[in-house]
Amino acid sequence: MFTKAITKKPCRALIDGITTAMFDDGTPDYELAAKQHDNYVAVLRSLGLEVLDLDADERYPDSCFVEDPAVVTAEFAIITNPATDSRNGEKYEIIDAIKKFYSDDQIFHIEAPGTMEGGDVMLVDKHFFVGQSDRTNAEGFKQFEAIVSKFGYTAEAVPVTEGLHLKDFVIYLENNNMLVSAKMNEEPAFKDYNRFVIDADELYAINSMNINGTVLVPEGFPKTLKIIQDLGYPTILVNNSEFSKIDGSLTCLSLRF
Ligand code: CIR
């Protein structure tokens, strides 16, 4: 059960965010992104979460994607080591927010040469799947596993070969259900889950987000919406178009715990 979330307002420099245009191309419209972000925060609050919405930071174009510089659970927080130069400094900023909720002995760090971004980390009960991607390397995984094992969690590395982060291609919806890309459907790590393969033209909607039983689904992906609704989950549609232009999806806009 999530009770809290941390978010961070998009900055005007968002238009310079890193992008491979894997979902959508074009430049985000800052004003619209700010509105969409306010709505995202309002939806989390409507679901009962206490949300700390941090001020925008113009020094870091991608800093609204707070999921990447930290991984949080009920018991501990890990400050990651984001892989790209333009994002690495975000780890020094997120820590002030993390310290409002965690004591010093609950806060850990991934150190160079380890790299990690939270978009590669997917928790299923007490087991972490960790994407091995351009952003999260084997050393990052090794350090992560050593930390989480102290708290009774396990971790498993999964290759990410089709784009940015693990959770762009597989998401856990709870109740043993996963949304997967065609490629992740072949991944042995996920063989025991009920997998629902999302068509290539709706790839962006894999990153839907279960908040205490209600699933937030990006607007504009009717086939995925139907799959989620047919599974019996209540859904809320969220327009995330401006973030999708710089490879940002729903989970990346918050840390939930
Ligand atoms: C980046 O390339 O780092 C950002 N433009 C997008 C980050 C998205 N984060 C996520 O999915 N967790």
Ligand 1 proximity of 140 Cβ (cutoff 6 Å): no
pLDDT digit of tens for each residue in the chain (257 aa)? 999 999 999 999 999 999 999 998 899 999 999 999 999 999 999 999 999 999 999 999 999 999 999 999 999 999 999 999 999 999 999 999 999 999 999 999 999 999 999 999 999 999 999 999 999 999 999 999 999 999 999 999 999 999 999 999 999 999 999 999 999 999 999 999 999 999 999 999 999 999 999 999 999 999 999 999 999 999 999 999 999 999 999 999 999 99
Q: For residue 216, what pLDDT is reported?
A: 98
Ligand 1 proximity of 116 Cβ (cutoff 6 Å): no
Contact 250, 239 (CB under 8 A): no
Instruction: Dig out the tokens for 85 from the structure.
Output: 């130069």
Cis preceding-peptide flag for 10 (omega within 30 of 0): no
Name the nearest CA neighbour of 39 among 198, 223, 236.
236
Between CA 114 and CA 82 the distance in angstroms is 9
Between CA 80 and CA 128 the distance in angstroms is 15
Reply yes or no on whether 64 is catalytic: no
Ligand 1 centroid from CA 252, angstroms: 7
Ligand 1 centroid from CA 143, angstroms: 22
Protein residue with least CA distance to atom 1, ligand 1: 18
Looking at residue 198, the DSSP 8-state letter turns out to be P
Backbone dihedral angles phi then psi of residue 50, each to the nearest 5 degrees? -85, 120
Name the nearest CA neighbour of 118 among 65, 157, 74.
65
Q: For residue 27, what pLDDT is reported?
A: 96
Ligand 1 centroid from CA 65, angstroms: 6
Ligand 1 proximity of 242 Cβ (cutoff 6 Å): no
Q: For residue 215, what pLDDT is reported?
A: 98
Q: For residue 147, what pLDDT is reported?
A: 98
Q: Hey, is 34 helix, strand or coil?
A: helix
Q: For residue 196, what pLDDT is reported?
A: 98
Q: For residue 25, what pLDDT is reported?
A: 86
Name the nearest CA neighbour of 132 among 110, 154, 164, 109.
164
Between CA 3 and CA 212 the distance in angstroms is 9
